[in-house]
Amino acid sequence: MKAKEKTLIDEDAETVSLCKKGDVDAFEELVRKYQKKMFNIAYRMVGSYEDASEVVQDAFVSAYKSIRNFREQSRFSTWLYVIVVNLSRNRLKQIATQRSHEQFSIDDPILTDEGSIQMEPASNEPSVLEKLEKRNIQNKVQKCIDSLDTEFREVLVLRDIQGFAYDEISRMLNIAEGTVKSRLFRAREAIKNCLKKVLGNL
C-alpha cells in the first residue's frame, strides 16, 4: 500500500528536498501553491476569516520548522492538510473556551467586516443582488457546518468540500475507513436537516 502510494506521489518531492536543504525560495513556492487550498479547509473548519488566516499562517510556520522531519510516507500536501486540520481543531477549542467565558449564544451571527466574506474573487461579475443572495446562502451553509461537532465537521469538509478519498481521510485523521463513512453519513444528515430549516425561510 505504501509502495503504491509512493508511485502516486509526489509532485512536490523535488521542492521538498530543496526545502530540507534550507532553500527558502523552494518553501515559498509551496506556500504559493497551497495557500488557497489550506485557507479554504481552515475557513470551513473554523468558520471565521480571521481565525482561518491565523491557522494557515501557523500551519506554514509549523511545516517550515518541521520539514526536515517529514519522512515522505505520504504526499507533502497530505502532511500539510493534517497540520491544518490539527491546528483548526485547536483553534475551535480556543474559540469554545472563549465563548463559554463570554456567554455567546451558539446561534449568534458571526460578525464580519463587509469585505471579509469574499474569499474568492468573482470571475464574471454577477449583479449586486446575485452577490447578496449567494453570500446569504453561503453564510447559512457555513452556519450549518459550524453547528457540527468537530469530528463530523472534519470528515464533511475533507470529503464533500475538498474531495479526498475515504482512505486518504482515514490516514489523515488516523481513524478507520468505516468510521469515516459513518461520521460522514451523520454529518450529511445533520447538514441536510439544518439547511431545510434555514433555507426554508428564503
pLDDT value for 125: 59
pLDDT in the model for residue 170: 92
Distance separating alpha carbons of residues 67 and 22, to the nearest angstrom:
10
The span from the first CA to the last CA of the chain, in angstroms, equals 48
Q: How far is CA 193 from CA 141, 198, 202, in A?
A: 11, 9, 15
Strands of 48-178 (E only): list them.
none
- Rounded to an integer, what distance in angstroms lies between the CA atom of residue 103 and that of residue 166? 37
Determine the 3-state secondary structure of 20 from DSSP.
Answer: helix
Predicted structure pTM score: 0.69
pLDDT of residue 197: 86
pLDDT of residue 37: 92
Range of the domain at 18: 2-199
Q: What is the number of domains present in the chain? A: 1
For residue 142, the domain's CATH number is 1.10.1740.10
26 and 18 in contact (C-beta within 8 Å)? yes
> Are residues 80 and 34 in contact, defined by beta-carbon separation less than 8 angstroms?
yes
In one-letter notation, the amino acid at residue 59 is A
Q: Which residue has the cell 509549523?
A: 62
pLDDT at 36: 93
- Give the mean pLDDT per block of 10 residues along the chain (202 residues): 49 91 93 94 91 94 92 87 93 80 49 45 57 75 89 92 90 92 94 85 49
